[in-house]
């Protein structure tokens, strides 16, 4: 069996364990046990746990931004890729939190961000705007999805938790906002925040400096 195939099996096994056990349950020992090998065997392919986790995180994004759309504006590209990143992370337990833990400058991260950065440069953005415009958008996507997955795992109930109920009674404005968020569709909330981010970037790009 080739080294490449074995390495891919290690990543695949780690990803399956992430889905089953969550981020805290993923360890080198459990990956080795799942593959029926000793832990030192994993170090032939990955220098340490962080290296393995970075490879798994990169794999989460392998199906993102794999196609191009002719005539697509940079705004439409940012929206499409952002939605694809979110769906890729939602497809795996703790996916967003796992990516945020590692967030490597790896093949897929570089490939995706290069497309986004290039689209901004094509419309005249300088290096700073293109870089921060891209990664600020991706940071929003990751952060939103972390919260989305956390809510799916454990949704707070102010009717059952007296501490939360007391807190919201002291801060009625926050309570109203909390209720609005709880009653909203998560897609609606994501699209709202993403569009706000993109509108800010449009304003920065196309509003002349005074």
Query: pLDDT in tens for each of the 210 residues of the chain?
Result: 433 448 899 999 999 999 999 999 999 999 999 999 989 889 889 999 999 999 999 999 999 999 989 999 999 999 999 999 999 999 999 999 999 987 667 899 999 999 999 999 999 999 999 999 999 999 999 999 999 999 887 766 666 677 777 888 888 888 888 788 878 889 999 999 999 999 999 999 988 665
The whole-model pTM stands at 0.88
SS3 label, residue 2: coil
φ, ψ of residue 155 in degrees (nearest 5): -90, 115
C-beta separation of 187 from 130 below 8 A: no
Gap between the Cα atoms of 61 and 138, Å rounded: 12
- DSSP state, 209? P
């Amino acid at each position: 069996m080739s080294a490449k195939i074995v390495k891919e099996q290690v990543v695949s096994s780690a990803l399956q364990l992430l889905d089953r056990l969550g981020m805290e349950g993923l360890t080198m020992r459990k990956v080795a046990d799942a593959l029926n090998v000793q832990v030192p065997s994993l170090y032939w392919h990955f220098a340490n746990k962080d290296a393995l986790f970075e490879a798994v995180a990169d794999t989460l994004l392998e199906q993102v931004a794999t196609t191009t759309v002719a005539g697509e504006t940079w705004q439409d590209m940012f929206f499409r890729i952002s939605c694809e990143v979110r769906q890729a992370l939602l497809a795996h337990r703790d996916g967003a939190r796992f990516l945020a833990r590692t967030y490597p400058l790896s093949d897929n991260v570089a490939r995706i961000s290069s497309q986004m950065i290039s689209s901004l440069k094509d419309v005249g953005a300088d290096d700073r705007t293109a870089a921060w415009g891209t990664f600020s958008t991706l940071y929003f996507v990751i952060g939103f999805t972390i919260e989305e997955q956390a809510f799916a795992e454990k949704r707070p109930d102010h009717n059952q938790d007296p501490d939360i109920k007391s807190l919201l009674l002291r801060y009625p404005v926050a309570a109203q906002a909390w209720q609005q968020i709880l009653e909203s569709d998560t897609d609606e909330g994501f699209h709202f925040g993403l569009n706000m981010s993109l509108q800010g970037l449009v304003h920065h790009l196309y509003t002349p400096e005074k």
